[in-house]
Amino acid sequence: MRRAPAERQRDPERTKERIVRAAIEEFGAKGFAGARVSEIAARAGVNKQLISYYFGGKEGLYRELTNRWQNTESAFADPATSLPDLAAAYVQVNARNRDFGKMFMWEGLTDGAVAPELAEDLRRDLEDMRRRQADGEFPADIDPACLLLALFAVSSAGVAFPHLVRVLCEADPASPTFTDHYAEQVRRLLTHLHP
């Protein structure tokens, strides 16, 4: 049931959260190019002008979602965490935030430019991988950039390839049972890289 406009005005934070949740679903389903502000507003049960008012439009809303993902990531991606445990944590977080994962996959499918903030994060991630290699977490003959790229794919496999999970693992890719099992397998796989 839709709330009266005056009720919405009294609770802007709740309205903004509804918009954000709707946007994650819409961007996850259709990517940035396919997502429509009118559809996001309809999902949120708000007037589409509120998206411009609160976020500055579609681009600003997308930036807000990217910032939220970065905040989520910073909450668990401690550089002191071992590489196997970190990769397993990414599997878990991706599984709990499937629409975020789909949203970022759409970015890759459209092969657009990488946002400067994301490029900066990726460079920091690569430096961290080089540090981990220097600290002996994985062999010297493995390219840190290629390993990082592979870890992005591995950690998002349950979101990117649900059809393969159903066939190969005979499991529901969104289930906690599969996610826990897969995260543990990723942890074990990376443990074997330790020289």
In contact, 158 and 104? CB cutoff 8 Å: no
Q: Judge whether 123 lies within some domain.
A: yes
Q: Are residues 152 and 95 in the same domain?
A: yes
CATH number at residue 141: 1.10.357
How far is Cα 96 from Cα 42, in angstroms, rounded to an integer? Answer: 24
Q: Judge whether 90 lies within some domain.
A: yes
Q: Are residues 100 and 162 in the same domain?
A: yes
| 176-191 and 83-96 helices, crossing angle to 10° | 160
pTM comes to 0.83
Q: Judge whether 67 lies within some domain.
A: no
CA distances (Å), origin 31, targets 69, 112, 171:
16, 11, 26
- Under the banding of pLDDT at 50, 70 and 90, the label for residue 7 is very low
- Tens of pLDDT, residues 87-119: 999 999 999 989 988 988 888 888 777 777 778
Q: What pLDDT is attached to residue 119?
A: 83
Domain hosting 25: range is 5-60
Q: Are residues 19 and 53 in the same domain?
A: yes
Task: Inform me whether the pLDDT recorded for 193 exceeds 70.
Answer: yes
Q: Judge whether 46 lies within some domain.
A: yes
Structure tokens at 186: 């990723």
How far is Cα 82 from Cα 98, in angstroms, rounded to an integer? Answer: 24
- Tell me 12's DSSP state: H
CATH number at residue 26: 1.10.10.60
Structure tokens at 41: 């507003």
